């Protein structure tokens, strides 16, 4: 069911994709509101020390650059090939974008969306339950939001774009993806995001024992950086465990075949070499139980091949994230049974619930590998669907001129 301007669109999350989607909507003349639980791009802010594998030209849009330039004629974007840290991406693109006239008045920061439902109809109302001629899409969405003071209110919208990412919901590190025994109580003491190991948080790891869990690129970065700390302070140690049983000769980090990002390929190679040399990597090992007395080390029960109780000062559980599906509980949405995101986030954005869309990192669910440019492709596709204009592509025109 097409929605034409001047309908009201609500974005959940002012991450990179929420901002870009809102900008695209503003260019088309939609009324837009962006609810953000924290600061602009809160998740990028929380990983601001991480350097991208991806060149800047794939971390910006022609609309974004045009909007910033229209707002500030002295704006100098980073070079196309620059690989920025999160804080550089924020300072040199994302924050200037959020500050443009097109977006700044539409942002509601420190405002969390608690749930999304519909006016008049319930999740259980199928098309056959509605009066003849009525459709679920005829009714507005109702969003329950909470501001920084804790006050709740209802906001309405004609369409909702859920761009809330996954970083707020880390996976548990226990066997089978369940919380290890005792893990839930220690949630606030375990690191589920890559800390700034070579910067602000170095002292917490230098000369200490760390249990590193995970086989992705965050775990690879942690291994390389812990090895660097260890070189300068030999009292530093780490044990790296991964759950897969796959061929140990390849090392813990799976290589992307024909990786288009040389620095990512190099990181994987470096981390795999460290794992083999340091003899600190144990594959097919699982976390069964975690105990910590106040002020003491973590005592972690691991399965074979290093079965037994082991003491660590830190646990780096870099085991991925999952989408918050509670937001969708009252809608007719079909998350993929394996990832919790869309079944085919590259091409199929349409859900049974008319005018509700999952976009950005959340659309990939637990599947890793989402890149900003995947989100831009989704935005282009979504607005062609939303306005029923199959050939619409504001990005194709390059850098549009703003009056």
Ligand X SMILES: Cc1cc2nc3c(=O)[nH]c(=O)nc-3n(C[C@H](O)[C@H](O)[C@H](O)COP(=O)(O)OP(=O)(O)OC[C@H]3O[C@@H](n4cnc5c(N)ncnc54)[C@H](O)[C@@H]3O)c2cc1C
Which stretch in 50-58, 118-126, 203-211, 268-276 sits in contact with ligand X by CB under 6 A? 50-58
**Quick check: 341 binds ligand X (CB under 6 A)?**
no
Q: 392 and 384 in contact (C-beta within 8 Å)?
A: yes
- Sites for ligand X among residues 313-332 (CB under 6 A): 327
Exactly one of 361, 376, 379, 386 binds ligand X (CB under 6 A); which one? 361
**Quick check: 267 binds ligand X (CB under 6 A)?**
no
Exactly one of 10, 26, 30, 37 binds ligand X (CB under 6 A); which one? 37
Query: Closer to ligand X at the Cβ: 271 or 302?
Result: 271
Contacts of 152 (CB under 8 A, 6+ apart): 114, 144, 145, 146
Exactly one of 27, 38, 206, 228 binds ligand X (CB under 6 A); which one? 38
Exactly one of 17, 33, 90, 386 binds ligand X (CB under 6 A); which one? 17
The Cα 198–Cα 208 span in angstroms is 14
Taking alpha carbons only, the member of 306, 309, 312 closest to residue 285 is 306
Which stretch in 38-46, 171-179, 237-245, 333-341 sits in contact with ligand X by CB under 6 A? 38-46
**Quick check: 377 binds ligand X (CB under 6 A)?**
no
**Quick check: 115 binds ligand X (CB under 6 A)?**
no
**Quick check: 3 binds ligand X (CB under 6 A)?**
no
Query: Closer to ligand X at the Cβ: 210 or 218?
Result: 218
Q: 231 and 223 in contact (C-beta within 8 Å)?
A: no
Which stretch in 128-136, 161-169, 230-238, 276-284 sits in contact with ligand X by CB under 6 A? 161-169
Q: What tokens were used for 33?
A: 């509101």
Whole-Å CA distances, 164 to 15, 43, 255, 362, 391: 7, 10, 28, 6, 27
DSSP H or E stretch at residue 222? helix 217-232
- What's the gap between Cα 374 and its chain centre? 13
Contacts of 212 (CB under 8 A, 6+ apart): 219, 222, 223, 226, 238, 239, 240, 241, 316, 318
Query: Closer to ligand X at the Cβ: 83 or 289?
Result: 83
- Size of site (CB under 6 A) for ligand X: 37
Burial of residue 143 (number of CB atoms within 10 Å: 0-12, 13-18, 19+)? buried
**Quick check: 109 binds ligand X (CB under 6 A)?**
no
**Quick check: 192 binds ligand X (CB under 6 A)?**
no
Query: Closer to ligand X at the Cβ: 195 or 360?
Result: 360
**Quick check: 372 binds ligand X (CB under 6 A)?**
yes
For residues 78-112, b (16+ Cβ closer than 10 Å) or e, as one string?
A: beeeebbebbbbbebbbbbbbebebbeebbbbebb
- Site of interaction with ligand X (CB under 6 A): 12-18, 35-38, 41-44, 47, 50, 52-54, 59, 112-113, 163-165, 167-168, 194, 218, 327, 360-361, 370-372, 375
């Amino acid at each position: 069911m097409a929605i034409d301007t001047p309908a009201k669109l609500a974005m959940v999350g002012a991450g990179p994709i929420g901002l870009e989607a809102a900008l695209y909507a503003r260019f088309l003349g939609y009324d837009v509101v962006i609810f953000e639980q924290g600061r602009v791009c809160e998740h990028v802010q929380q990983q601001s020390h991480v350097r991208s594998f991806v060149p800047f030209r794939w971390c910006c849009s022609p609309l974004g650059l045009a909007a910033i330039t229209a707002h500030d004629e002295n704006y100098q974007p980073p070079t196309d090939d620059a690989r920025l840290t999160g804080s550089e991406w924020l300072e040199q693109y994302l924050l200037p974008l959020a500050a443009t006239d097109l977006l700044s008045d539409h942002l509601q920061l420190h405002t969390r969306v608690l749930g999304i439902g519909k006016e008049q109809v319930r999740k259980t109302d199928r098309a056959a339950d509605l009066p003849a001629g009525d459709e679920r899409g005829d009714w507005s969405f109702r969003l329950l939001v909470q501001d920084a003071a804790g006050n709740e209110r209802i906001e309405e919208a004609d369409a909702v774009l859920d761009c809330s990412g996954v970083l707020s919901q880390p996976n548990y590190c226990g066997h089978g993806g369940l919380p290890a025994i005792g893990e839930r109580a220690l949630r606030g003491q375990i690191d589920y995001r890559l800390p700034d190991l070579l910067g602000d948080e170095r002292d917490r790891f230098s000369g200490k024992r760390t249990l590193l869990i995970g086989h992705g690129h965050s775990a690879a970065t942690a291994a390389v950086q812990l090895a660097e700390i260890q070189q300068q302070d030999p009292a530093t140690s780490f044990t790296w465990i991964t759950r897969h049983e796959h061929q140990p000769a390849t090392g813990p980090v799976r290589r992307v075949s024909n990786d288009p990002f040389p620095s990512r390929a190099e990181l994987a190679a470096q981390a795999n070499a460290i794992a083999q040399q340091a003899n600190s990597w144990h594959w097919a090992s699982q976390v069964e139980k975690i105990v910590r007395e106040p002020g003491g080390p973590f005592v972690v029960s691991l399965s074979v091949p290093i079965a037994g109780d082991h003491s660590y000062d830190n646990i780096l559980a870099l085991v991925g994230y999952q989408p918050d599906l509670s937001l969708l509980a009252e809608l007719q949405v079909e998350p993929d049974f394996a990832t919790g995101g869309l079944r085919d986030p590259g091409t199929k954005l349409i859900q049974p619930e008319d005018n509700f869309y999952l976009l950005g990192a959340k659309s990939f669910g637990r599947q890793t590998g989402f890149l900003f440019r995947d989100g831009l492709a989704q935005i282009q596709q979504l607005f062609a669907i939303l306005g029923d204009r199959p050939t619409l592509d504001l990005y194709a025109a390059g850098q549009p001129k703003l009056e």
